[in-house]
Amino acid sequence: MKLHVSPDTFPPRGHEAKRISIVDAAAGVFCREGYAGANIDLIAAEAGVSRQTVYNHHGDKEKLFVAVVRDLTERCNAGIFATIATFPDQPKDLEADLIGFAVRLNQNCICNRDGKFLRKLIQTEGERYPELFAEWLEQGPGRTWPAIAARFARLAYGGYLAIEDPDVAARQFLGLVNAELQTTFMLGGTPSEDEVLQSATNGVRTFLRAFGKRRSVTSVEKQAALAGT
């Protein structure tokens, strides 16, 4: 049997599968125990490899940590950009489409395993290893916020929204759609799908009450728009 088996096999088979298993297990242990509290024996056990194999692949603990952060950063950034690509530039139903976008943001980027892990590591180790997270900052928030803001600006230009500053609007959008989830996030929990949907729904409705200009806005705002023109 020369078949390369997926990393779901335990213990993992093959050089690449072992590497993935090590990084994956290490991510979990670093998040759970912190960098200082994580030990190589535990990571090796959870990865299903020997301790020496961990060293064979990564040299030392710090290099393993760097590899973990790199992996998470890459995957999270990819996930965010893929989700931004689904932003509703030409919405059929603005409210429903923005709710869908907010839910996808949460499910694909924030509440998923990678998102939770990266956020946790930034919070716990970010100040101790600033250079390590600088790339995340530059490739992550440094590019995603302008990209999201541009999408909101486009909606404004298309007559759907009345916003003054797309950057502020983008950040307030996220603040609103996640308003009811912050305590859960702080405690490291994962909100249920219902909770995500509810927070997104309430948040988008408030956002559109403040900024919405067209169909899918409420009757009051609808009358205001007519009276304003």
Partner DNA sequence: GACGAATTAGACAAGAGTGTCTAAATTTGT
Partner DNA sequence: ACAAATTTAGACACTCTTGTCTAATTCGTC
Query: Site residues (CB under 8 A) for its own copies?
Result: 32-37, 119-120, 122-124, 126-128, 133, 137, 141, 165, 168, 171-172, 174-176, 178-180, 182-183, 186-188, 202-203, 206-207, 209-211, 220-221, 223-224, 227-228
Handedness of CA 136, 137, 138, 143 (dihedral sign): positive
Handedness of CA 31, 32, 38, 42 (dihedral sign): negative
Do residues 50 and 41 touch, judged by C-beta distance below 8 A?
Answer: no
Q: Considering the complex, what minimum distance in angstroms separates the CB of residue 43 from DNA?
A: 8
Distance between CA 18 and CA 104 in Å, rounded? 31
Pick one of its own copies, DNA, none as the site partner of residue 186 (Cβ within 5 to 8 A by kind): its own copies
Please name which of 18, 19, 50, 196 lies closest in space to residue 111, comparing C-alpha atoms: 196
* Beta carbon nearer to its own copies, 154 or 205: 205
Q: Considering the complex, what minimum distance in angstroms separates the CB of residue 63 from DNA?
A: 8
Pick one of its own copies, DNA, none as the site partner of residue 119 (Cβ within 5 to 8 A by kind): its own copies
The contact pattern for DNA, residues 125-154, with x = CB under 7 A and - = no contact, is: ------------------------------
Q: Does 57 help bind DNA (rule: CB under 7 A)?
A: yes
Please name which of 197, 147, 207 lies closest in space to residue 175, comparing C-alpha atoms: 207
Pick one of DNA, its own copies, none as the site partner of residue 77 (Cβ within 5 to 8 A by kind): none
Q: Considering the complex, what minimum distance in angstroms separates the CB of residue 208 from DNA?
A: 50
Alpha carbon 73 to its chain centroid, in Å, reads: 10
Q: Considering the complex, what minimum distance in angstroms separates the CB of residue 11 from its own copies?
A: 27
Q: How many CB atoms lie within 10 A of CB 227?
A: 7
Q: Which residue in the block uniquely carries the two structure tokens 């916003």?
A: 163
Do residues 76 and 169 touch, judged by C-beta distance below 8 A?
Answer: no
> Residues 48, 91, 140, 166: which binds DNA (CB under 7 A)?
48
| Helix ranges, 85-129 (H) | 94-105, 113-125
Ranges within 14-43 binding DNA (CB under 7 A): 14-15, 18, 38-41
